[in-house]
Amino acid sequence: MALLVVAIAAWWLLYGLMLAGQLVDMRSADGEVFTWRRALLHATGSTAPWVPMTLLAYLVVSRFPVGRAHFWRHTAIHLALVAGFIVFKAVYALATNPVFDWYPVLPPLGEVLVTSIGNNLILGITVMAMLHGIVYFEHVEQREQQLDALEKNLAMARLEAVKARLNPHFLFNALNSVAELMQVDVEQADRMLIAICDMLRDGLRADQLQERPLRDELRHVTNYLMIERIRLGRRMSSDVRVDEACMDIPVPTLSLQPLVENAVVHAIARSRVPGWLAIRAWTQGQHLHLSIENSRAAEGARRDGNGMGQRSVRERLHLLYADRARLETFDAEPDIYRVRLQVPLPGTAVPPAALAQGPGACR
């Protein structure tokens, strides 16, 4: 903000110098002796109010940019601001006339307003247009930074997913389970191998978008759960209940996998008693809600994790949806741990009040 203030002040300083030069040339052409000192005083008095007015205009343009959304409403706000500038400059001229001698004889306010319209209407519109260019440039820069961050975040998620699948302990146990199944159930062993290949292929895909339908995200998760159910046997059960109406709603790519894996690795796999995991999805207001619940291990959760999974998902939610999405954890219950994702439905800008609405069609 400090840099913006300096830039605006420098701009109006240069404009004032140009205006002073024009005053000297014009008055000299009329045969009047008009010194640079007097010209600079007039130019400074004329342009100085534009510094705070331009800052105010920047704040308004940043908050209410003219675009396809709310075009007429935002345009009216900007025109009202320009009108306010014109009135302010007229009042300013009357108030500072003893200092700058704008008028030899002070005219009525109506005449001063007419003069202010002629002097400041086009200038005010030009200022608003220039500020729109600056704001749009800032938005483009911000968007590019967000896209870069999203690409890095998604690449990290893919690497984490592949790393988890290639974890020697996991891979050894999975392949060992395949070897054992080959002796008793070749068909199930084949399904397990296919699931491992699908997970590796999904994690290594180079064409992944930032979002994909929930059904694709769940396919990745169910492959993982099938492998773990076979590996852990009766020690693990899982239940995925998602209505078909939710399946095509886009969610961040590889957002469920790290959360489900946390539940299996840090709770179920290390428990001596059978554990369970449940995935649910529903709409509420203008959001899709995803819940991952799991039983806690009586021995307590593992403490050797670095929290990368939840951090990665939380950062991606913020970059994609800002404050319209969030990840929450609930660990107050002694036997249950719950993680909930809240993702905005496509094409919605959801106010906080929408959270109070009842559940939607898919649950």
Per-residue pLDDT band for 328 (boundaries 50, 70, 90) equals very high
One-letter-per-residue 3-state SS of the chain: CHHHHHHHHHHHHHHHHHHHHHHHHHHHHCCCCCCHHHHHHHHHHHHCCHHHHHHHHHHHHHHCCCCCCCHHHHHHHHHHHHHHHHHHHHHHHHHHHHHHCCCCCCCCHHHHHHHHHHHHHHHHHHHHHHHHHHHHHHHHHHHHHHHHHHHHHHHHHHHHHHHHHCCHHHHHHHHHHHHHHHHHCHHHHHHHHHHHHHHHHHHHCCCCCCEEEHHHHHHHHHHHHHHHHHHHHHHEEEEEEECHHHCCCEEECCCHHHHHHHHHHHHHCCCCCCEEEEEEEEEECCEEEEEEEEECCCCCCCCCCCCHHHHHHHHHHHHHHHHHCEEEEECCCCCEEEEEEEEECCCCCCCHHHHHCCECCCC
247 CB-side CA count, 13 A: 10
* pLDDT over threshold 60, residue 315: yes
* pLDDT over threshold 90, residue 251: yes
Cα–Cα–Cα angle for 155, 245, 352, rounded to 5 degrees: 70
User: Contact, 324 vs 344, CB < 8 A?
Assistant: yes
What is the structure's pLDDT at 351? 39
Q: Is 0.85 surpassed by the pTM of this model? A: no
Q: Which of 69, 43, 64, 48 is nearest to 128 (CA)?
A: 64
* pLDDT over threshold 50, residue 239: yes
C-alpha–C-alpha distance, residues 21 and 39, integer Å: 7
Q: Which residues pair with 10 in a beta bridge?
A: none
What is the structure's pLDDT at 354? 36
Q: Tally Cβ neighbours within 10 Å of residue 190.
A: 13
What is the structure's pLDDT at 164? 53
The percent of residues in the chain predicted with pLDDT above 90, rounded, is: 27
Q: What contacts 286, CB < 8 A, 6 or more positions away?
A: 344, 345, 348, 350, 354
More confident residue, 126 or 182: 126
Residue identified by tokens 């009040």 is: 353
135-181 pLDDT tens trace: 888 888 888 877 777 777 666 666 555 445 445 556 666 777 778 77
Sign of CA dihedral 268, 219, 278, 324: positive
Kindly list the distances between the CA atom of residue 125 and the CA atoms of 57, 96, 114, 132, in Å, as whole numbers in the listed order. 10, 24, 17, 11
* pLDDT over threshold 80, residue 296: yes
> Over the chain, what is the mean pLDDT?
81
Tokens of 57: 């205009």
Tokens of 108: 């009525």
Query: Which of 72-81, 100-109, 166-175, 209-218 shows the lowest mean pLDDT across its residues?
Result: 166-175
Per-residue pLDDT band for 306 (boundaries 50, 70, 90) equals very low
User: Contact, 100 vs 41, CB < 8 A?
Assistant: yes
